[in-house]
Amino acid sequence: MPYHRVLLTGAAGQLGRELRTRLAGRFPVLRLSDIAEMAPAGPGEEVIRCDLADAAAVAELCRDVDAILHFGGQSTEADWDTVLAANIAGSFHLWEGARQAGVRRIVFASSNHAIGMQRRSSRLDHTARAAPDSRYGLSKAFGEDLAALYAYKHGIAALCIRIGSSYAEPADARQLSTWMSFDDLVRMIEVGLAADYTYEIVYGVSDNTSSFWDNSNAERLGYHPADSADRFIDALRDRRSDDPTAERTQGGSFASVDFDGDPDALP
């Protein structure tokens, strides 16, 4: 891949630590950043602690970077001030720092929670309208629009990956649909770094028979998942909540928290 220095935000997090290991040696320099402490830099690594809410620090973080894997920020539902600082302001600072630094592309860890109020019975593709299920999901929908602004107006290519559930293994019946293995996540990042595109939305999901999503846009770009949650079906098919809103919506428990809408009016 023709990148000298790649920046990974969220490097201290669950996925960041997996990616640090799996991407080791792929680029001459992997710059790792997080607000939290990270393991010291190894060969070919730079480690920089940075709060995404600090615009000047983020601009400095982006200097001399060719591509960014943006995985940092608040990764679950939280109070507005936290989401605003880490994900809304934080993502704005990142894209603006990228523009100033001449970064060529950004692979963005968006989330299924950007469309989490959608019914499970709707099979969505990349053209589905946003339907956030939480302040967190709203911040991911914002991140996708932010990426579009900088892609079309400033030429920073962006792949927005609406990740389902990326863990070592799926944990319940919903994740039989939403699970993405770490290896498939790396495959999607490879597509994000190598494919020819300006701005795209794809679903971050393995080859699960019961996936909620038509991921043909990812396949068109060159994503071919090698893993599937299907081997966990017998163990997990009955692991469901007794919450009808969670079971009806793609976002599950994120959608059902504080839900006082009309269940028949879901998109």
| Other Cβ atoms closer than 10 A to 99 | 16
Residue 163 is a binding residue for ligand NAI (CB under 6 A): yes
Measured from the CB atom, the residue of 163 and 255 that comes closer to ligand NAI is 163
Query: Cβ(78)–Cβ(66) under 8 Å?
Result: no
Alpha carbon 43 to its chain centroid, in Å, reads 27
Measured from the CB atom, the residue of 10 and 155 that comes closer to ligand NAI is 10
CA angle 201, 205, 211 (to 5 degrees): 105
Shortest distance in whole angstroms from residue 265 CB to ligand NAI: 25
Measured from the CB atom, the residue of 19 and 221 that comes closer to ligand NAI is 19
Q: Catalytic residue at 152?
A: no
Structure token pair of residue 259: 């839900």
The 30-69 site mask, x for binding ligand NAI (CB under 6 A), equals ----xxx--------------xxx----------------
C-alpha atoms less than 13 angstroms from C-alpha of 1 in its C-beta half-sphere: 23
Q: Among residues 110, 95, 250, 130, which one has the least CA distance to residue 192?
A: 110
Measured from the CB atom, the residue of 112 and 208 that comes closer to ligand 15L is 112
Choices 82-90, 120-128, 219-227, 248-256; region in contact with ligand NAI by CB under 6 A: 82-90
Query: Cβ(21)–Cβ(45) under 8 Å?
Result: no
Chain contacts with ligand 15L (rule: CB under 6 A): 75-76, 111-113, 165, 178
Quote the CA–CA distance of 113 and 164 in Å, as a whole number.
8
Binding site for ligand NAI (CB under 6 A): 10, 12-16, 34-36, 51-53, 71-75, 85-86, 90, 109, 111, 163, 165-166
* Active site amino acids: 136
